[in-house]
Amino acid sequence: MEAGTSGGYSLGARTAPRSLTLCDFVSHPLLGTISRAGGADLVLLCTNTMHRMADAVQDGVAIPLLHIADATGERVRAQGLTTVGLLGTRFTMEEDFYRGRLRERHGLAVLIPDAEERQVVHEVIYRELVLGQVRPASKEAYKRAIARLVARGAQGVILGCTEIMLLITQEDSPVPVFDTTTIHAQAAVADALAPVLAT
């Protein structure tokens, strides 16, 4: 599959110049064999939204999948927080695959922006951030969304899309922000090194 395409549809997005084999994880018949034969001990979906398919991916492999919401939920709980705001694609904010997991496995109350702000957050991701465009007006819109979440009781805000960290940093929020890209990568490294460090 070419970078920036998905099933023949141009996404306008970019991928790293060098990458591992890309495949349709849900239907690829050799996924489990490829991952195990390649020496993998862990599977990562390096995107929040595609965790919609996490259960199907996990069912297709014999090794564990490190869920991005679990790594993030653990980090949030480690800071003693119980209520968080969630920014991400419309799918991540509105569907239960992410919010439900944070609630059920980590005991977190998850707040999302209102419908109008969710649409703005979603469109900024797909029309700007995935294209490498970082606009001051969009930063201000996100900061307003964060402020409203905080006013509703959010003790922290999850940046639930891997591109949001291009736009929002800790300096833009009065409460802790949780960059899921970094959290997921750190958790993967910790898991990978755990057997080595235990010896």
Residue 161 annotated as catalytic? yes
Which residue out of 49, 161, 162, 181 is catalytically annotated? 161
Residue 46 among the catalytic residues: no
**CA 45 to CA 70: how far, in whole Å?**
12
> Which residues are marked as active site?
47, 161
